[in-house]
Amino acid sequence: MGFSENCTMYKISNYNHFQAWQNGSLIAFNAKSGAVALMTRENFELYNNLALRMKSDDLNVLNDEEKTLLDQLKYGKFVIADDSDEIDGLEFVHNLHRYDQTSYGLTIAPTMNCNMGCEYCFEDNKKGKMSPEVIDAIVKAVDDRADSMKSLDVNWYGGEPLLALDTIEELTNRFREIADGKKFKYSASMISNGYLLTEKVAKKLRDLGIYLVQVTLDGPQRIHDRRRPLKNGKGSYGKILNNIKDASDYVGIGIRVNVDKDFTEDIIVEMLEELKAEGLREKVGVYFGQLEPASEICANIAENCYNANEFSQAEVKYYRLLLNHGFLVHKAPTPISVYCMAQSVGALLIDPDGDMYRCYNHAGNKEKSVGNITDEINYQHPIFRDFFRFDPFREESCRSCEVLPLCMGGCPARRVDRKLQGEELCDTWKHNLSSMLDIIAVARQQEKQKAAAAAKETK
Ligand code: SF4
Ligand code: SF4
């Protein structure tokens, strides 16, 4: 919400969060703008004083110190125009993105085949690749929308997408041709198990505009090789780690570590030491994923899975370990407009048969398909409706939630497929914002110190 030149009527944002930090200072965070700042105790007292005066519309006379602070608070959206309605603004942007047809987000599985046999995999690994007819139908779907499109964002998924690199290459070339002609932005990323991600392949991915590859490592070698073996039972860790080393010179690599209750802090440390020994500490981002039973049907594995609150607390411990071992902490509380593809009409997952889905967990499960790419999208399909329907702005607990801009109601599959309730639906920020802000502030401080030391050395 903007301010008019002469506006002197302000109020405090509902999404401000302050917490004590080092030496009496505070971390100030606004969940709607994502602004994070360190604040002195004196400025915090000044802020409280200004907040009181705002209530009685008493900001006409300000000294220089107060003026400077007010400008900073306005810049970070900690202070907003008195006539603005934050929840209304959030709802508007949420709906804009829900119904936005100008940004197309496609998750494409060019094959459901996979070279690995992970113990928790829910996918049915069918052999075979996408047919030329399905490739043509996907290209047509993009072409049909191209006149009004501003961006196309593709995430290559599977199975293991690198088993169908030729399909990725063909689709990329055809997407880029349309994007160049119609002048919209094209970007791409990939989720891969990393086993085929050699240096040569990484160069090819870079040339195909893939800027980020997410690779899963499930702990140190002894655990990863048990949880994520190749189909022939052999371990995959050594090759994946070597590949990451070579590939990270060409594409960004994010390492996702899927965790459950077996992941003690010792295990995480063991993995970090292994990454460090391979020179990967400065080259990759590491983050943690919560292993969850994808539906009520596989609730039998739930026993070993963290629930939302447990995972959020464990995540804090894991990120603290990253920090203590000198790894970068990439996770940050970032405002979102929708939680995932399920809440947006312009996003779809497409499998090799052209069948479309609304959730990663549904990939390849034909019962969960909402139609085929060769047909018109049926927005009234029961699964489409069930996943799209939830609106956080109609739910009192979400409307009044202090982290609504970071969560937007959370994962629809938890509501629809798993029938979870209450805070089990909430994103991790609901459970661990303060602890994570603490870690993030220390991480940023360390980065600044490192940058300053490096600048000094080059002088
Ligand atoms: S519904 Fe949940 S599991 Fe499915 S894609 Fe969205 S966030 Fe992921
Ligand atoms: S699901 Fe939970 S954390 Fe997310 S907006 Fe609703 S109440 Fe807040």
* pLDDT tens digit at each of 459 positions of the chain: 445 445 568 999 999 999 999 999 999 999 999 999 999 999 999 999 999 999 887 788 889 999 999 999 999 999 999 999 999 999 999 999 999 999 999 999 999 998 887 665 655 556 678 999 999 999 999 999 999 999 999 999 988 999 999 999 999 999 999 999 999 999 999 999 999 999 999 999 999 999 999 999 988 999 887 888 777 778 889 999 999 999 999 999 999 999 999 999 999 999 999 999 999 999 999 999 998 887 554 556 678 899 999 999 999 999 999 999 999 999 999 999 999 999 999 999 999 999 999 999 999 999 999 999 999 999 999 999 999 999 999 999 999 999 999 999 999 999 999 999 999 999 999 999 999 999 999 999 888 888 888 888 877
- Dihedral of the alpha carbons of 185, 186, 189, 190, in degrees to the nearest 10: 160
| Dist CA 74 CA 62 (whole Å) | 15
Burial code (b: 16+ CB inside 10 Å, e: under 16) for 426-451 equals bbbbbbbbebbbbbbbbbeeeeeeee
End-to-end CA distance of the chain: 43
> Which tokens hold the place of 174?
């055809």
Q: How far is the CA of 294 from the centre of ligand 1 (A)?
A: 10
Side-chain-facing half-sphere of 295: CA atoms under 13 Å: 12
Which residue out of 430, 431, 432 has the highest number of ligand 2 atoms within 8 Å of its CB and is therefore the one to mutate?
430
Please say whether the beta carbons of 195 and 240 come within 8 A: yes
Q: What is the pLDDT of residue 409?
A: 97
Q: What is the pLDDT of residue 1?
A: 45
Cβ–ligand 2 distance for 398 under 6 Å, the answer yes
Cβ–ligand 2 distance for 433 under 6 Å, the answer no
The angle at the Cα of 337, spanning 412 to 421, to the nearest 5 degrees, equals 30
Amino acid at site 353: D
Cβ–ligand 2 distance for 430 under 6 Å, the answer yes
Q: Which atom of ligand 1 is nearest to the CA of 412?
A: 1
Cβ–ligand 2 distance for 392 under 6 Å, the answer yes
Please say whether the beta carbons of 94 and 87 come within 8 A: no
Q: What is the pLDDT of residue 458?
A: 78
Q: The tokens 């105790």 sit on which residue? A: 41
Cβ–ligand 2 distance for 427 under 6 Å, the answer yes
Q: Which atom of ligand 1 is nearest to the CA of 416?
A: 1
Cβ–ligand 2 distance for 335 under 6 Å, the answer no
User: Closest-lying ligand to the alpha carbon of 295?
Assistant: 1
Which residue out of 86, 402, 407 has the highest number of ligand 2 atoms within 8 Å of its CB and is therefore the one to mutate?
407
Q: How far is the CA of 341 from the centre of ligand 1 (A)?
A: 7
Q: Tell whether pTM > 0.85.
A: yes
SS3 string, the chain, reads: CCCCCCCCCEEECCCEEEEECHHHCEEEEECCCCCEEEECHHHHHHHHHHHHHHHCCCCCCCCHHHHHHHHHHHHCCCEEECCCCHHHHHHHHHHHHHCCCCEEEEEECCECCCCECCCCCCCCCCCCECCHHHHHHHHHHHHHHHHHCCEEEEEECCCCHHHHHHHHHHHHHHHHHHHHHHCCEEEEEEEECCCCCCHHHHHHHHHCCEEEEEEECCCCHHHHHHHCCECCCCCCHHHHHHHHHHHCCCCEEEEEEEECCCCCHHHHHHHHHHHHHCCCCCCCEEEEEECCCCCCCCHHHHHHCCCHHHHHHHHHHHHHHHHHCCCCCCCCCCCCCCCCHHHCCCEEEECCCCEEECCHHHCCCHHHCCEECCCCCCCCCHHHHHHHHCCHHHCHHHHCCCCHHHHCCCCHHHHHCCCCCHHHHCCHHHHHHHHHHHHHHHHHHHHHHHHHHHHHHHC
User: Closest-lying ligand to the alpha carbon of 420?
Assistant: 2
Cβ–ligand 2 distance for 308 under 6 Å, the answer no
